[in-house]
Amino acid sequence: MRKILLGLFAAMTTVLMVWGFHLAVNAPAEMMQGDAYRIIFYHVPSAMVAFLFFAVSMAGSIGYLAYREKNPTRALAWDGWAVAGAEVGVVFCTVVLVTGPLWGYRAWGIWWAWDARLTTTLLLWLIYVSYLLLRRFAGGSQMRTSSAVLGIFGGIAVPIVYISNRIPGQHPGPVFGGDSSSGMAPEILRPFLGNILAWLCWGLVVLILRHRLELKQQAAAARDAEQALNA
Amino acid sequence: MKKIAARIAAVIPIALLAWAIYTLLSAPPEPPGDWRLHMTQAQHDLAVAPIDHAYRVAAYTVTWAIQMGFLAWMGLKWTAQTRDGSEDAHGTRRS
């Protein structure tokens, strides 16, 4: 039943992605930036999804630390969400860090600027890359606990990145919830919201698949440990 | 069959990345800094439109290269895990 539901959700997501792409390429042209402004339809939703999944990773890390002694099975499930959130979040954050400079070069004439938003986003990405490297190379029973602590610190950094574009710099200010000059034309807002929905659904499909893979790996590791004890 | 599918899954992101790089490298050159001396605003807009388009295509393509690359990596891990699991089960049955 779960497989059918996931399959249906994945099919719906594929339709949404095609619709989102159609909206993005057919959105009205922008006066100053021409076609390059359409990069925001992939760049901004990817940033939103990355932030959301880093929050999922933080919640998973807290859950792991809360249950690791009381209920180890439940703790491992939480740990699965922590690693899945971090990994898929890093994928989306990588998209942000690659598409951003492509837009920046057309809009500003430079690939990168060390302003608050860009620098904090890069630092956030580095925190979660170090989280994944810690999980990959640290062995022993303390690996999950150490990575959970790092995951919580990474999650705390997300709001700092979010508010960093309120500090004047190279990066555009907030589109929503900013000052009186913020906002978006309705004909651009529709494809923008459509792409946020599409990328969110895509991210959820990938997150669920990654969580299932992690549970599969945990089961295999438990099986190996049992076999080693019985040998 | 699974091997072919895995190879295709691994090749798609590499091909997308190569396409993104090719799109950027084959974009027409920027108009010179003193373009106002040589062309009108309309001519300038016409000259930069294919460059903007190339950057947009490169950004979309590289996004899909990253996403499909991650999916391919997950698929390979999943296949390896399933294969190891079935080998273990087979070994247990034999013993």
Mean pLDDT of B19-39: 90
Summarised one tens digit per residue, pLDDT across range A124-167 is: 999 999 999 999 998 777 899 999 999 999 999 999 999 987 88
- Model confidence at A183: pLDDT above 80: no
Residue length of chain B: 95
Of A1 and A21, more confident: A21
pLDDT band at A51 (very low <50, low <70, confident <90, very high): very high
Under 8 Å CB pairs connecting chains A and B tally to 75
> What are residue A231's DSSP bridge partners?
none
Closest in B45, B56, B66 to A91, CB measured: B66
Among chain A residues, CA nearest to B80: A217
Say whether B58 sits in a helix, a strand or coil.
Answer: helix
- Best B35, B53, B55 residue to mutate vs chain A (most A CBs within 10 Å): B55
Give this prediction's pTM: 0.91
Q: Do B60 and A42 touch (CB under 8 A)?
A: yes
| Residue ranges making up the domain that contains B28 | 2-94
Q: Do A46 and B63 touch (CB under 8 A)?
A: yes
- Find chain A residues with C-beta within 8 A of B59's C-beta: 39, 42-43, 98-99, 102-103
Tell me how close the Cα of B19 comes to any Cα of chain A, in angstroms: 15
Q: What is the pLDDT of residue A216?
A: 92
Question: Based on C-alpha coordinates, what's the Rg of chain A?
Answer: 20
Q: What is the pLDDT of residue B93?
A: 41
Q: What is the pLDDT of residue A195?
A: 96
Tokens of B86: 């079935």
Topology of domain A2-171+186-230, per CATH? Four Helix Bundle (Hemerythrin (Met), subunit A) (1.20.120)
Tell me how close the Cα of A105 comes to any Cα of chain B, in angstroms: 9
pLDDT band at B95 (very low <50, low <70, confident <90, very high): very low
> Of the candidates B10, B18, B2, B8, which has an alpha carbon nearest to the alpha carbon of residue B72?
B10
Q: Which ipTM score applies to this complex?
A: 0.92
pLDDT band at B84 (very low <50, low <70, confident <90, very high): confident
pLDDT band at A29 (very low <50, low <70, confident <90, very high): confident
Q: Per the structure, how many domains does chain B have?
A: 1
- Model confidence at B90: pLDDT above 70: no
Interface of A with B in 48-107 (CB under 8 A): 88, 91, 94-95, 98-99, 102-103, 105-106
Confirm if A162 and A51 have CB atoms less than 8 A apart.
Answer: yes
Tell me how close the Cα of A15 comes to any Cα of chain B, in angstroms: 16
Q: What is the pLDDT of residue A212?
A: 95
- Give me the amino acid identity at A139: G
- Find chain B residues with C-beta within 8 A of A102's C-beta: 55, 58-59, 62
- In sign, the C-alpha dihedral spanning B56, B62, B67, B68 is positive
> What are residue A34's DSSP bridge partners?
A30
Mean pLDDT of A91-116: 94
Q: Do A102 and B48 touch (CB under 8 A)?
A: no
Mean pLDDT of A19-36: 87
- Model confidence at B94: pLDDT above 60: no
Decide if A117 touches B, using CB distance below 8 A: no
- Find chain A residues with C-beta within 8 A of B82's C-beta: 216
Q: What is the pLDDT of residue B80?
A: 85
- Best A95, A97, A210, A224 residue to mutate vs chain B (most B CBs within 10 Å): A95
H, E, C per residue of chain A: CHHHHHHHHHHHHHHHHHHHHHHHHHCCCECCCEHHHHHHHHHHHHHHHHHHHHHHHHHHHHHHHHHCCCCHHHHHHHHHHHHHHHHHHHHHHHHHHHHHHHHHHHHCCCCCCCCHHHHHHHHHHHHHHHHHHHHHHCCCCCHHHHHHHHHHHHHHHHHHHHHHHHCCCCCCCCCCCCCCCCCCCHHHHHHHHHHHHHHHHHHHHHHHHHHHHHHHHHHHHHHHHHHHHHC
Average pLDDT, chain A: 91
Domain ranges of chain A: 2-171+186-230
- Model confidence at A191: pLDDT above 70: yes
